[in-house]
Amino acid sequence: MSSIEEKFSKLGTDHAPGQEVRQGGDLPESVLRGGLLSGAAVDFSHGDVNDTAFPPAPGALEAFIDGEGRGGAQAYTEYRGGAELREEVARKLAEFTGQPIAASEELIITPGTQGALFLALGATVNVGDRVAIVRPDYFANRKLVDFLGGEVVPVPIEYLTSSGGAGLDLDQLEDAFKSGVRVFLFSNPNNPTGVLYSPQEIVGIAKLANRYGVTVIVDQLYSRLVYSGHTYNHLCASEIAADRVLTIMGPSKTESLSGYRLGVAFGASHLVDRAEKLQAIVSLRAPGYSQAVLRTWFAEPEGWLAERTTRHQAIRDDLIAVLRAVPGLSVRTPGAGSYLFARLPAMGIELHDFVRALRVQANVVVTPGTEFSPDATDSIRLNFSQNHQAAVQAVQRITQLIDRCRAVVS
């Protein structure tokens, strides 16, 4: 394999969310003999933004049309995004996080949070740099670090056994920082588990970053979708030095606006400067007309977010009840976001075969745990932002297939 082929092989997408069509291959005959498990198709690899589940936040289409109506003034904004819009977004995010944000220097609008992640890593990671990454965590994190020539330093979280946070061992994180780590990247709430970092964990991360001069990138994509009994702690409003942190957010998930490809990165001004230079080459700017949709962010009708959160929590609880009835299966109740990360019982089938069997036999798409950690060979992730009834029925089919595959063992 040539060096360029090896470089791009690190970005493998065959099993990434939304790539289920590539999950081909033959299934064990013993599984096929069980027959199909009938039911409506449910794709747990991403949220359902149709009218029967969680449609886009009100006003988004109207804002987009208004942006198109402004013509070139909206189509050709500054590379960082329209100045007036950045001022508005910065005010909203400052109120949300409790941390002042200078719109002209500390914020950039990006083509989705995925674009923000690429810009953030491109602005901080050089060839040979050591980058600490939580396991499990968002599937693109380690792939992008590998692609950029960085060295991944894994930091596991004990999410299944921890009751007061994400299960981050701060001593282990400090050991990683002592080893020469220059960047630490994590999501809060964690994707794929939905666990929230405790105040002690957030403060601990901040203190260690300050002590060892580590830059921290935190993905807060689901920080608005927090369930009862839980509180959210913003890293940028902790004790971390202002030039040490870059925060990524966007309206893709909770607000169901993923199709508009909008995100933001805010924080250290020197990193935002670098991100702008990179964005100017990669995409010039976030989609111009779509930028106008950000005016609806944090401006939804009164009660809209609370109602959406309540509906997600009800789905979460019903799916957890179904899954926990399966002997040997482990899953933690998420404190935020719309992900369940279930550790499967021992079965006589490999993980990727099981994922394919779900698609072929049960009309259900899930994402294999290996996308989020190479050692999560017994886990699957479900995005439960779905039609409630269809989601419950789909998870019931998952449990039926688990029983079928368990029977293969005996």
Dist CA 109 CA 260 (whole Å):
12
107-152 pLDDT, tens digit each: 999 999 999 999 999 999 999 999 999 999 999 999 999 999 999 9
Dist CA 61 CA 167 (whole Å):
40
User: What structural domains and CATH numbers belong to the chain?
Assistant: 3-48+303-409 (3.90.1150.10), 60-296 (3.40.640.10)
CB within 8 Å of 102: residues ≥ 6 apart: 90, 269
Burial (CB count within 10 angstroms: exposed 0-12, middle 13-18, buried 19+), residue 311: middle
Dist CA 194 CA 335 (whole Å):
6
> Tens-of-pLDDT digits for all 410 residues of the chain?
567 777 677 666 665 666 554 455 555 555 555 667 778 899 999 999 999 999 999 999 999 999 999 999 999 999 999 999 999 999 999 999 999 999 999 999 999 999 999 999 999 999 999 999 999 999 999 999 999 999 999 999 999 998 789 999 999 999 999 999 999 999 999 999 999 999 999 999 999 999 999 999 999 999 999 999 999 999 999 999 999 999 999 999 999 999 999 999 999 999 999 999 999 999 999 999 999 999 999 999 999 999 999 999 999 999 999 999 999 999 999 999 999 999 999 988 999 999 999 999 999 999 999 999 999 999 999 999 999 999 999 999 999 999 988 855 44
Q: Can you list the pairs that 147-152 forms with residues at least 24 positions away whose Cβ atoms lie under 8 Å?
A: 147/7, 147/8, 147/10, 147/11, 148/121, 148/122, 149/125, 150/121, 150/125, 150/126, 150/183
Listing DSSP states for 104-170 in one string gives HHHEEEESHHHHHHHHHHHTT--TT-EEEEEES--HHHHHHHHHTT-EEEEEEB-TTT-SSSS-B-H
Burial (CB count within 10 angstroms: exposed 0-12, middle 13-18, buried 19+), residue 44: buried
Dist CA 208 CA 196 (whole Å):
19
Dist CA 201 CA 155 (whole Å):
13
Dist CA 157 CA 117 (whole Å):
21
* β-sheet bridge partners, residue 107: 266
246-255 pLDDT, tens digit each: 999 999 999 9
Neighbours of 68 (CB within 10 A): 14
**Residue-level length of the chain:** 410
Dist CA 198 CA 118 (whole Å):
27
User: Which DSSP category does 10 fall into?
Assistant: T
